[in-house]
Structure 1
């Protein structure tokens, strides 16, 4: 055991491992169903990066030639030119296809990616009403930011630990940091999955796993054990790619040990020039060739896929995937040959002056990108590119109801004050609007009607938390979101049932988000039964109907490019077929439960042949299945009739 010394020699098996990391990521982004675990390619990249960079750092430190300036010169030459090329081309394309609101968001992401803060930025803007993935062309740069955040501190820490008095503590400190970071990742994966995905603190252990291997804290392998390690490593990675399903596993965390240990075993098995059978397969020229261009391929793949999805509103067909992959390979090979390599290998023995020049050039490139991003955001997405009519439509689509921040996203400390709407009189008859975002969207229409009829309502809503009877059990692996959602359900039911001022409840939700409609309807029925047993009527609101092509977003995207928005709608036959199971289940609850009435708004957006996310030239939807304010107000007359029926049932005997 001991520190790995010397200059890292090129290993073709590592290039092959890079290919094994990047190709699954591309396939996963083409279509998740084709390779469910393809997303772990990023984790494999982290292990490779930690291994290679730490090996170089350790060699320099051991031989007394470490220079922080040289390290960042190399790093910027490696990372920035190819990234800048992708960012500039993507920014140019965005100018022509992204409307102002989306271009402003692109500018913010470009700025964040250019200061290697993209992971934190995307964490801050990832929420229920955030941009769709195909509208975020630089989404993949989160992983680049995680790496660079690690390398801001790792060289300094490693240099400090190489001090003679601290060197004996190096393996203990690195091992402890791996365990701490893995603990953070596992805790977040269980309780806060989105945070776990983007949080660099929970990803650093993967880079340090590669670093641990590079520092030599593992025994040397003989030929037989090297073959075994390589075979097991490959098996772990392949099993992960095929068997891991992001909707069914807790990731990252302990589960990420499977692909990362697989990568570590493959790296370990190929040390000291050993050529295992698996290593020879990975070294096969076409595979290793993809590995050589893997950085550029990773950078280019997502903008190409996202822009295709943005323009077509669908995933690529198999034939389109083949063609797009060919384009990616060609562009990436060009980038590797004419952008990456010239900047990386400008000089073989750079002087200190050249190193300063390299750092300055890299920083200047990043500053240029920050400036472009700031221009896009500061101007609100360069609205002069659009017509006044379009800007009006875009504003309608993106205008949120005032109750959303406080009453759906929970950004209030006083729900009683901030989430009570309708008539302002203290003695106005009160009802409760309970549900998720499907209930929140009706706030503007209900507010108008309630004012007109002299009623008020308290909005009890939470994103992604359908109005159902709380789940019981679930065990220690329940996410924080699930735990909080069930607590909210219990609180809402208690308020509706026990508050004597509450006359009745209006319930709306996206029950199709639940794992199965049947059990969800049973839990809805259980909640409704509790409310009606307390002598309080219930008005159920069926879903408004969904548009697969994005509804309001489709109208904005097509409209900005001057294209017809007919594809934004849906045939009446398809809409009826999609809605029938949920609507029939709600009708059954209403028919079999005294005191329950049903409001079905979906047909109001349809004519005999099609359903539309707009009325005349006014968009009514925000996205594919949420109304904007105008859409909610459009339903106000229908809501008035439904509310009057529910209010009348309050005093009806037996209700």
Structure 2
């Protein structure tokens, strides 16, 4: 396939949009569509190469994969090795452990699958994941694995290639629409729901190979004459150019980070890219895209995409707060510089090597080694014995991966006669538990002190991540009901029936975040809401919270169970690692946060929540209420740490130290 500088120009547009969105999202509001443009380009180029080789009967799948390795691995290896080394000196144990897991996933092009499985209540801020952007590389490489094989089958069996592509595009697009409502995270990360974007490019690639260009219609030219055909063609070229520019511009200006994406909205950038991709090389649009500056950025677009996000993340992690415009510009310049160096000194020398097979083998071995190192870092919990962080870990155990972030261990299966599947969690430490801890992920965090033996109680945990124990109501995320929450309250009641030894139930959940539409501090706004399971009662979110919770507690008490409601602890509003003065290295002089909040401010933002709790208490006189603030606040302030260490492991979940502290107060001091 002949080199097309305009495609490099379109690559440049893609990477400009992505980098712009990641650095200045207030300007490049929908800049993430750059990834969709990359998908269309990749689908077109790869399919063109394969189809051309099939045409000349010289396609070799081993050779194809070898060339892909030589093209993709060098820059990726450079970035992964950089992250491993930089993380060693920079990151705290829990951060380095997560990075190791992501390096292992990135080396196997499974990042999109890993990130999909990490999405949830305990997921950390995406801005703190240096390799998050590799999800798109995972989608592309998964496409490269199956697509050549399918094309070989289509070619040799002489299937109608157009019908095959249309069938796959329609199927993938319909899956995308369905999952945009049923499971938005799956829709975003899954290769099945992104396949149609790559296949739009594949359609262009095959058409070009079969017809000598997308806008080449020999039969039409013969039928209407050369002159009329040229006029028709010029009109179509102008139309395609304007529509392509319009759709891509509209995407950037109209879409935002809150848009349910990809869904229908991805049609805009995908079709916009497709319209520009089919332009002949002598058209005005193609000439603009062939500008030297754009072509230069297009040639380094792949390493630039790889470098910019880790640099942004590492700077955010070290600085501990938002980056200013000046630092962002420095990062962009550094990313372009590193991308050019990678392109010149790594990519070109390796790709010019004539021994493709041998080079690919060596690169594959190198990638396996790097992936293994990443796995080892994750397995060893972020290498807590690194000299640079050993003393920090000794002071702050909360900086390790949370020991209470757990899934069911099978201990409840025989009693319940079925497994409890994540995001729901059931664990018991005794065949005859005396107490139950129930609720959302705050209940899981609270159970940490018992599970780790800090508190000696026979207990069972039955929790639902992101679920409230509501009767007749369910938690929704972006107007989609969390399926695992639908029967959560009923499952808690059923578990109590099957564990008659339980005498007390301690309820621990978040509060206002479910009905107010926003969290505190770094959480910002959310898309959580409470909906009636059947129909709509036209009640406010607060009223649904009250009715669902109170009804559930009433049924618990009716079982002659003592119920203790632990009100929401004060959210920290920031990462607890900001509360320590030490980090392996600092690029910025920054005082540690005091992790102290004014108690009156906490009470003010939870005022509506406490009013609801009082109504629930009035409905259920036998209910005991323990205010979580009593453990972490005095008369003036609320605290995130004490002489025993950090009490939180993220902005609102308790650490092992914090859970032990709260359990001691709730179980033994019994103050209200």
TM-score tier, shorter chain, comes to 0.7 to 0.9
Residues 567, 627 of structure 2: 8 Å contact kept: yes
Equivalent in the alignment of 2:183: 192
Residues 401, 443 of structure 1: 8 Å contact kept: no
Equivalent residues in 2 for 1:497-646 (5 A)?
506-514=506-514, 516=516, 519-531=540-552, 539-551=564-576, 553-554=577-578, 558-561=582-585, 567-573=592-598, 576-577=600-601, 580-587=604-611, 589-590=613-614, 593-594=617-618, 595=621, 598-602=625-629, 604-606=631-633, 611-640=638-667
Task: State the Cα distance separating 1:519 from its structure 2 match.
Answer: 4.0
**SS at structure 1 position matched to 2:408:** helix
Report the TM-score, using the length of structure 1 for normalisation: 0.81
In the aligned structure 1, how far is the partner of 2:380 from the partner of 2:16? Answer: 38
Residues 99, 556 of structure 1: 8 Å contact kept: no
User: Cα 1:605–1:32, aligned 2, differ >3 Å: closer, same or farther?
Assistant: farther
Structure 1 residue 324 corresponds to structure 2 residue 331: yes
User: Cα 1:72–1:399, aligned 2, differ >3 Å: closer, same or farther?
Assistant: closer
Equivalent in the alignment of 1:3: none
**SS at structure 2 position matched to 1:527:** helix
User: Cα 1:411–1:576, aligned 2, differ >3 Å: closer, same or farther?
Assistant: farther
**SS at structure 1 position matched to 2:58:** coil
Q: Larger deviation: 152-161 or 595-604?
A: 595-604
Equivalent residues in 2 for 1:340-379 (5 A)?
340-344=347-351, 346=352, 350=354, 354-377=355-378, 379=380
Q: Cα deviation per residue 1:426-453 (whole Å; 9 max; x = unaligned)?
A: 8x6x6x644211233223568999998x
In the aligned structure 2, how far is the partner of 1:557 from the partner of 1:18? Answer: 43
Equivalent in the alignment of 1:260: 270
User: Cα 1:528–1:371, aligned 2, differ >3 Å: closer, same or farther?
Assistant: closer
RMSD of aligned alpha carbons = 4.0
Report the TM-score, using the length of structure 2 for normalisation: 0.79
User: Cα 1:586–1:67, aligned 2, differ >3 Å: closer, same or farther?
Assistant: same
Q: Which runs of 5 or more residues in structure 1 are unaligned?
A: 1-6, 646-655
Equivalent in the alignment of 2:322: 315
Residues 8, 52 of structure 1: 8 Å contact kept: no
**SS at structure 1 position matched to 2:467:** coil
User: Cα 1:281–1:458, aligned 2, differ >3 Å: closer, same or farther?
Assistant: same
Equivalent residues in 2 for 1:35-54 (5 A)?
35-54=28-47
In the aligned structure 2, how far is the partner of 1:22 from the partner of 1:369? Answer: 26
In the aligned structure 1, how far is the partner of 2:404 from the partner of 2:475? Answer: 36
Equivalent residues in 2 for 1:73-222 (5 A)?
73-163=66-156, 166-216=157-207, 220=216, 222=233
Q: Cα deviation per residue 1:397-425 (whole Å; 9 max; x = unaligned)?
A: 44756694229xx9964575995769976
Residues 313, 549 of structure 1: 8 Å contact kept: no
Residues 507, 564 of structure 2: 8 Å contact kept: yes
Q: Which runs of 5 or more residues in structure 2 are unaligned?
A: 209-213, 217-231, 418-424, 518-538
Q: Cα deviation per residue 1:569-624 (whole Å; 9 max; x = unaligned)?
A: 43423x64255222453145416852265433236435677644322152221212
User: Cα 1:190–1:70, aligned 2, differ >3 Å: closer, same or farther?
Assistant: same
Residues 5, 289 of structure 2: 8 Å contact kept: no
**SS at structure 2 position matched to 1:76:** helix
Structure 1 residue 234 corresponds to structure 2 residue 245: yes
User: Cα 1:184–1:415, aligned 2, differ >3 Å: closer, same or farther?
Assistant: farther
**SS at structure 2 position matched to 1:465:** coil
In the aligned structure 1, how far is the partner of 2:13 from the partner of 2:541? Answer: 41
Residues 21, 41 of structure 1: 8 Å contact kept: yes
**SS at structure 2 position matched to 1:623:** coil
User: Cα 1:267–1:565, aligned 2, differ >3 Å: closer, same or farther?
Assistant: closer
Residues 426, 463 of structure 2: 8 Å contact kept: no
In the aligned structure 2, how far is the partner of 1:458 from the partner of 1:31? Answer: 47
Residues 547, 569 of structure 1: 8 Å contact kept: no
Task: State the Cα distance separating 1:45 from its structure 2 match.
Answer: 0.6
Structure 1 residue 485 corresponds to structure 2 residue 510: no
In the aligned structure 1, how far is the partner of 2:74 from the partner of 2:612? Answer: 62
**Match among 15, 18, 28 for residue 22 of structure 1:** 15
User: Cα 1:182–1:414, aligned 2, differ >3 Å: closer, same or farther?
Assistant: farther
How many residues are matched? 615
**SS at structure 1 position matched to 2:77:** helix
Task: State the Cα distance separating 1:522 from its structure 2 match.
Answer: 1.9
User: Cα 1:578–1:468, aligned 2, differ >3 Å: closer, same or farther?
Assistant: farther
Q: Cα deviation per residue 1:281-318 (whole Å; 9 max; x = unaligned)?
A: 43444334322221111000111011011112223222
In the aligned structure 1, how far is the partner of 2:313 from the partner of 2:173? Answer: 31
Equivalent in the alignment of 1:649: none
User: Cα 1:193–1:633, aligned 2, differ >3 Å: closer, same or farther?
Assistant: same
Residues 450, 457 of structure 1: 8 Å contact kept: no
**SS at structure 1 position matched to 2:133:** helix
**Match among 442, 447, 450 for residue 443 of structure 1:** 447
